[in-house]
Structure 1
């Protein structure tokens, strides 16, 4: 069996609250969808506006491989607008539930059925392929629903669709519902919404029941809770049901990112198939298993969908992952330095911070630059700062076993802390801060901060760095790192002079 994919990202997907695509954006997405391999692109609803028709015309002019379709209500004016755009087909939609017929349309069943038949005949007579679609089909009288679709087929409709407009189906009911519609003798489309989080499951059940085409959107965008997700449907069909499609799986992640960027609707990290965490591992046990054999904790490979595998380093990470990543970075650390790195990652994890590869490299390089024996160590740091308060810092520093306490003020908390440190070490190193550079390694307010300083003591100039989640601590640690280098250099020179 092979399933067809009818993509409605540019119509139902664009009905996501807050989304409005320009004609050029629609064209770019349509070209990508065609490259992806969808069978039908519902390019929009031609009757909507001049801009909408412009977008549809641009797509039609590209002569894409996919069938280009316009949404249309069962009225001639909508069909005429579609004809003006030059589309190959119309997704002709008519409400069939009594709820919609009585309260929205204020008509009778017979009036609605007649309208649907006349619109279908009109579209067919003008050369359009018609997919007749029943809105709110899953809350309709089933006998009436089949009657409308059957008479629509007699009028020339080549495909029929039953829409679960407000997501009322369950997988069990979906199977029986769509199985009954396959008796009509033409291809049946499944169109499911995600109000109860069941759109993908219901779509798969409908296809298993004999429907041959799935209506989907990229990333599952759409009104309210969205539509069935294209990527989830096609990968599930392939991997779980051995049902093929024409989709180029390797483009799925790229397609997802394109639509997210164009619409401004970004994905939750744990989104299946294309989410940033879909192939991310933190737990030591899971990561170790994936390294040894990917299938242990991955049902599909990230390469299948054009994604990538990531190892996230946090409090659950195992030492083997850290060692592997450090080695891949081309860094060599001994056991002592490795334990320092590992302990810092665990500590950051306990603070709720996950360490990226960039963070890890900075931490590792920082650890490699730290002296094994430190004559000067920070014991306490207190900062007072705020509106209408002079930034003040006090430090307690251990210098070769002797505690020294000093305070300092500055233009800000970092400046005050460095002033206090300089005062506390002036007896052993009269330092001048020559350069100070700070970078946020990754994005976010909890990003690791990388501080690089250049200190001068007489003719001796040294550089030092520290990587911490706190800019004040990173600054103080960097300065103290430089002080320790100066002191150590001084001790080495004195020892050499004695010899």
Structure 2
């Protein structure tokens, strides 16, 4: 069995509070979804705005393999907008619960909703659209009325039916039973659209497939209104690896797509999120790590490479000898048993103080205990920053890189951004370094608070973390950045 995937990241996902994507950004995401193997891309709501209309038009004309879909109501203007934008299909919904009927179409009866739906479906077919018809808020609707609505939609030549758990109140058992009943009744494909208000979207979607759903609606990173939609990455991996249900998804593209959407949506993926969260394949515990290095299956249900990721071993208060030995091997160092004991003790001490142990911390501890003095490749010689109410923040920096003095200037949205941009310009001839993470914590209170800045830098496929701690956030940021550079620049 192969289940079809309708991705709604660009429609329901963009309805996440605070998310607004440009036409160019939507096209980038659509291309990533298509490369990942999504069957249907719900690209937006054509009637919503001129920008939405243009985005659907651009995506429809991009030559993607996926079917391009527009969301719409049972209104002729929505259908016209979808067709005029060049969409292949329309996901059209009619209110099916009494609360939705009375709120969205005051004064309308159930029979009138059925009649409006039939006319809308027939018109959409006339406009040449594939019609996927859904009963909105179906999980709170009277089931007999829902069947009447779906029967009428099938008679009007709808191509697919969708059961929508609009406010996430379904349970896996109900999802299974309901999809079984719908699958037995209808010969056309039946889909399930789930929300995560009670944290059951993934389970409900999986059980809907077990019940016979031909198609499922998902969003990358679980984006969507309120608590979000069923997460593509969770549903696909659960179906394929736990239930043996196939999809057309190229799993190695899951993580790259997740990162792109996190960046463009500006919605941070929680570190403990399954599959795509930072911690999903990150290990610290010494007992776990020791076993993991012998056999990765001991503490990983799947290999990170399957979804385009890499395993990460971090050190902290739970660090063990095996983890430290692996990192020392990467650095080309060896230690006596006594030295190893001291290195572990110092690493655990940093963790016991409640601090994250960065790669730079580990390297400093190892080199200090082994009494290795390495020449710093990058040194800060001078820094000047100008900022004001009506001035674009500008930074001028002098660095010594591999013995050569380099002076550069940069501008930014703030003093920190300007300083980091100046550093990036200064090192561009020495290495291609990308800032992929930046985190600030105030360690003490007051206007003279000590701030702890942790940066994550990337060079090719190597990622390192480094720390800077000062009362001046600009200097703390630069200190952290330069510490990271010293680990990456040859």
TM-score, with structure 1 as normaliser: 0.75
- Given that 1:23 and 1:52 are in contact with CA atoms closer than 8 Å, whether structure 2 keeps it comes out as yes
Deviation at 1:367, TM superposition (A): 2.5
Structure 2 gap segments, 5+ residues each = 374-436, 442-451, 456-465, 472-490
Task: Provide the C-alpha distance between the structure 2 equivalents of 1:360 and 1:186, rounded to a whole number of angstroms.
Answer: 59
Query: C-alpha distance in 1, partners of 2:299/2:66?
Result: 36
Q: 3-state SS of the aligned residue for 1:361? A: helix
Counterpart residue number, 2:389: none
* TM-superposition CA deviations, 1:169-214 (whole Å, max 9, x none): 0111111111111122211111000000000000000010001111
1:200-232 CA deviation, whole Å, 9 max, x = no partner?
Answer: 000000010001111000000000000000000
- Residue 25 of structure 1 aligns to a residue whose secondary structure is helix
Q: Which residue is 1:65 aligned to?
A: 65
Structure 1: tracts of 5 or more residues without a match: 372-440, 450-466, 473-499
Q: SS in structure 2 opposite 1:34?
A: helix
Shift of 1:331: 1.7
Q: CA deviation at 1:448?
A: 7.8
Q: Give, in whole Å, the separation in 1 of the partners of 2:133 and 2:284.
A: 48
Distance 1:233 1:167 in 2: 16
Matched with 2:150 is 149
Among 236, 240, 243, the residue aligned to 1:241: 243
Which whole-Å CA distance do the structure 2 matches of 1:22 and 1:147 have between them? 40
Other-structure match for 2:118: 117
- What SS is found at the alignment partner of 2:278? coil
Counterpart of 2:287 in structure 1 is 285
Higher mean displacement: 359-368 or 245-254: 359-368
Provide the residue aligned with 1:390 in structure 2: none
User: What secondary structure, in the 3-state scheme, does the structure 1 residue paired with 2:272 have?
Assistant: coil
Give the Cα–Cα distance (whole angstroms) in 1 for the partners of residues 162 and 100 of structure 2: 17
Superposed displacement of residue 471, structure 1: 6.3
Query: Which residue among 205, 208, 220 is the counterpart of 2:222?
Result: 220
Greater CA deviation, 271-280 or 328-337? Answer: 328-337
- The Cα offsets for residues 343-384 of structure 1, whole Å up to 9 and x where unpaired, read as 11010111112323333122212323379xxxxxxxxxxxxx
Q: How far 1:136 sits from its partner (Å)? A: 0.1
Larger radius of gyration: 1
User: CA-to-partner distance for each residue in 1:377-409, whole Å, 9 max, x for gaps?
Assistant: xxxxxxxxxxxxxxxxxxxxxxxxxxxxxxxxx
| Residue aligned with 1:365, SS | helix
1:335 is displaced (CA, Å) by 3.1
The secondary structure found in structure 1 opposite 2:279 is coil
Check conservation: 1:359, 1:448, Cα contact below 8 A. no
Q: Which residue of 1 aligns with 2:83?
A: 83
**Secondary structure of the equivalent of 2:345?**
helix
TM-score (norm 2): 0.76
Cα RMSD over matched residues?
1.9
Shift of 1:57: 0.7
Question: 1:149, 1:232 → 2: CA distance?
Answer: 29
Q: C-alpha distance in 1, partners of 2:335/2:90? A: 65
CA distance in 2: counterparts of 1:252 and 1:177, whole angstroms: 30
**Partner Cα separation in structure 1 for residue 454 and residue 50 of structure 2:** 49
Q: What are the Cα deviations for residues 226-253 of structure 1, in whole angstroms up to 9, with x where unaligned?
A: 0000000101111001111010000111
> What's the counterpart of residue 445 of structure 2?
none
**Does structure 2 conserve the Cα–Cα contact (< 8 Å) formed by 1:312 and 1:354?**
no
Partner of 1:273: 275
- Runs of 4+ in structure 1 over 3 Å off: 441-449, 467-472
Distance 2:53 2:322 in 1: 57
CA apart distance, 1:311: 1.2
